[in-house]
């Protein structure tokens, strides 16, 4: 008996809600027990004790921790994430400006991962233990072991040296007349607003940082795809297809690739979280000004509201990515629905 996909989705959603609640409690408590008075850090060492105490009262830091959490989550559920001590603006405003930049960077990196890693893994498995396989394994191991910031700096230097005029910092050229769009994703907004030049320019700026950010994931997914393809080639139904003379390209692309895509998709949920975590390095190198670098600045300044919001949004991205992966896997492999229905 197979379980309907909608039931699987509802089950996952219930689990993820519990995870978000646990995450919110954890980060809320940690942000407040870490040494350092956020009110003092916001006002500076020259501020009078009375001023610091007044700000603490304004921030609600004089209340019990449980009361602080209930107050914060009550406001958060209404869309109020508080004020940033650093920018002196609502945290939601800061997030609205920074999240689309990192989200666009991560999404393009994911596209790079699958566009490069899946075909490379398939080719390596097909030519197992040959020269192309050995070269591919060296490249994938290099992608996993070398830090992303080193790839970023190397790509910048190569682009500045070999690609005259190719953008190496920022999201858009400074000379472009652009007032923004509805989503904050420049490629999408350029198309929506009838400005393909904006989309093309944004894609040029995205190419280097997205490729640098995706290198570790490319190496990991390539190795997993290769292993899955080799393992599935030994399955009885694949051997049966070969014995009946089914063309090898049909076996690979119609049967093996679908079955072997489950393992890379499973890893993709974890890779998405890794991309969010590693993006701050890439954003610093390329002066990207996104969500990840905003989060790093908030942590260093102990901006409580901003830190809490950044972790919650990052956790939400991770949960949504894993939900999508779970749904895709259950669609690809109906056997998983049978197991969950038992």
- Of 94-108, 147-161, 302-316, give the lowest mean pLDDT range: 302-316
CATH superfamily of the domain spanning 91-301: MetI-like (1.10.3720.10)
pLDDT value of position 1? 47
Closest listed residue to residue 159, CA positions, set 290, 285, 279 = 285
Write phi, then psi, for 217 (nearest 5 degrees): -65, -35
Q: What integer pLDDT is reported at residue 6 of this predicted model? A: 60
- pLDDT for 61 equals 76
Q: What is the pLDDT of residue 191?
A: 92
Average pLDDT of the chain is 83
Which single residue is written with the structure tokens 């991309």?
Answer: 275
State what percent of residues in the chain have pLDDT above 90.
Answer: 20
Does residue 341 surpass a pLDDT of 50? no
Domain ranges across the chain: 91-301
- Name residue, tokens 């007032």: 179
d(CA 213, CA 285): 11
Mean pLDDT throughout 244-257? 80
Task: List, in order, residues 6 or more apart from 24 with CB less than 8 Å away.
Answer: 69, 73, 76, 308, 312
Higher pLDDT, 282 or 9: 282
User: What average pLDDT does range 108-116 have in this prediction?
Assistant: 90
pLDDT greater than 80 at residue 68:
yes
Distance of CA 12 to the CA centre of its chain: 19
Task: Name the pTM for this structure.
Answer: 0.83
């Amino acid at each position: 008996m197979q379980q309907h996909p909608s039931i699987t989705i509802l089950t996952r959603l219930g689990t993820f809600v519990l995870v978000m609640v646990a995450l919110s409690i954890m980060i809320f408590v940690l942000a407040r027990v870490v040494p350092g008075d956020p009110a003092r850090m916001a006002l500076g060492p020259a501020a009078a004790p009375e001023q610091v105490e007044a700000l603490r009262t304004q921030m609600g830091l004089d209340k019990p921790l449980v009361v602080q959490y209930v107050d914060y989550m009550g406001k958060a559920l209404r869309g109020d994430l508080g004020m940033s001590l650093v920018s002196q603006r609502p945290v939601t405003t800061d997030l609205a400006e920074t999240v689309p930049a990192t989200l666009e960077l991560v999404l393009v990196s994911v596209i790079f991962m699958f566009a490069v890693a899946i075909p490379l893994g398939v080719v390596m498995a097909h030519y197992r233990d040959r020269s192309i396989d050995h070269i591919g394994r060296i490249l994938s191991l290099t992608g996993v072991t070398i830090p992303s910031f080193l790839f970023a700096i190397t790509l910048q230097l190569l682009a500045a040296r070999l690609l005259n005029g190719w953008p190496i910092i920022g999201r858009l050229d400074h000379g472009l007349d652009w007032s923004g769009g509805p989503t904050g994703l420049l490629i999408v907004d350029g198309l929506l607003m009838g400005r393909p030049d904006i989309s093309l320019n944004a894609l040029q700026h995205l190419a280097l940082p997205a490729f640098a950010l995706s290198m570790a994931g490319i190496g990991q997914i390539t190795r997993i795809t290769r292993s899955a393809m080799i393992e599935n080639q030994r399955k009885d139904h694949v051997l049966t297809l070969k014995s009946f003379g089914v063309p090898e390209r049909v076996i690979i692309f119609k049967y093996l690739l679908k079955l072997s895509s489950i393992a890379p998709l499973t890893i993709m949920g974890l890779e998405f979280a890794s991309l969010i975590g590693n993006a701050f390095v890439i954003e610093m190198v390329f002066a990207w000004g996104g969500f990840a670098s905003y989060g790093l600045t908030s942590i260093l300044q102990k901006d409580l509201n901003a830190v809490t919001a950044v972790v919650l949004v990052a956790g939400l991205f991770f949960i949504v990515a894993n939900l999508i992966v779970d749904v895709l896997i259950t669609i690809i492999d109906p056997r998983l629905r049978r197991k969950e229905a038992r």
